[in-house]
A = this chain, B = another copy of it.
Amino acid sequence: MQVITHSIIMTEKQEKILQSALGLFAKEGYHATSTNKVAKHACVSEGLIFRHFGNKEGLLTSILELGENKIKSLLVDIVMEPDPKEVIRKAIFMSARIDKIDYDFWKLQFKLKWELEVSSDKKMEPLKMALSNAFNKLGYEEPEQEAMLILLFIEGIGSAILKGSNMDANQMMKFLAKKYKI
């Protein structure tokens, strides 16, 4: 029986593999997670992973590709916003909008940035431009650097949330929002 997920047709087991791999990669890291572990966690034969995803890297790529939407849907709301103040506000509170269900995916994103040095800069580029633009409209002297600063903040807050730091993320977002008088 077929299951339609992420608007791509997949078998249940294929889906299960992806979920298990995402969870394990996010928790233990890509290299520390063996395909055997993934198979056992997904309750499938190890061979099936390779039939569906070619190799371990293909499995990772599939996970990442399916997640692209998550990233885009998070950014599009900010980038499309016409009101510059609102752009900045939304950017600052972006991390708060991350679904708990998607924590694994985001954790994996951060992990890969360091484990495999997979850059996420390109994905954030539209956001940076939207922010830069917003600060410009609001008459800030150094809009680009203001934008960069917000980006740094977002990454820092996201990282703190995902690592389960005891920092109060919501408080920090409000605090920064106040600083920008938004």
Asked if residues A152 and B163 are in contact (CB atoms below 8 Å), the reply is no
Number of copies: 4
Instruction: Tell whether, in the assembled complex, residue B172 and residue A148 are in contact, meaning their CB atoms are under 8 Å apart.
Output: yes
Chain B residues contacting A110 (CB-CB under 8 Å) are 114
A153 partner residues in chain B, CB cutoff 8 A: 149, 152-153, 156
User: Which A residues from 128 to 182 make CB contacts under 8 A with B?
Assistant: 142, 145, 148-149, 151-153, 155-157, 159-160, 163, 165-167, 171-172, 175-176
- A145: which of B114, B148, B172 is its contact (CB, 8 Å)? B172
Whether A81 sits at the interface, judged by CB under 8 Å, is no
Q: A163 contacts which chain B residues (CB < 8 A)?
A: 113, 117, 119
